[in-house]
Amino acid sequence: QEQLVESGGGLVQAGDSVRLSCAASGRAASSNVVGWFRQPAGKAREFVAALNRINDYTRYADSVTGRFTISRDNSKNTLYLQMNNLKPEDTAVYYCAARGNAITVLSTSRSGYSFWGQGTQVTVSS
């Protein structure tokens, strides 16, 4: 069974750092392209970052470029999102996602991802 399980969220202060983890199993663990999305309360889910596990190509949303870093440990089937200099506007539920197994192109679109985690809340207080 495909599964993505996020962890690492919580309540932090502006300027703090947090690292999110996403453990993959089943078909999701074989996906070449993985990513992070977030959904602020009452708003649409938005792209944060994506990574090609084969060539390490990455893409970031403009709002997080320079502050967030996506990385992976293939031996552990785990995806990470290092978030530095957090701002109150980063408050959201963060989801990890994976594209279909044969796909190698990065995508910033929610519809481009087949597998999703349950999400982890990150709250940044000012």
Cβ-contact 70, 122 below 8 angstroms: no
Encoding tokens for residue 46? 């938005």
Residue 99 to residues 8, 47, 102: CA-CA distances in angstroms? 22, 13, 8
| pLDDT tens, residue order, the chain (126 aa) | 669 999 999 999 999 999 999 999 988 988 999 999 999 999 999 999 999 999 999 999 999 999 999 999 989 999 999 999 999 999 999 999 999 888 889 999 999 999 999 999 999 999
Residue 115 to residues 13, 16, 26, 50, 111: CA-CA distances in angstroms? 31, 29, 10, 14, 10
pLDDT at 2: 66
CA 66 to chain centre: 15
